[in-house]
Amino acid sequence: MSPELSIGFVFHKILTFHSAILTAAVCL
């Protein structure tokens, strides 16, 4: 796995996690 791919994967996971928190915050 190339470093760029790994960084993109981590960034995507953080982004998904962050949007999930935002969605939960809006719903609550």
How do residues 11-23 score in pLDDT, each as one tens digit? 999 999 999 999 9
pLDDT of residue 22: 92
Q: Rounded CA gap, 11 and 17, in Å?
A: 10
Residue 2: what are its φ and ψ, rounded to 5°? -75, 150
Q: Which two tokens stand for residue 2?
A: 């190339």
Q: Rounded CA gap, 28 and 26, in Å?
A: 6
- Quote the percentage of the chain above a pLDDT of 70: 96
pTM for the complete prediction?
Answer: 0.56
DSSP three-state, residue 26: helix
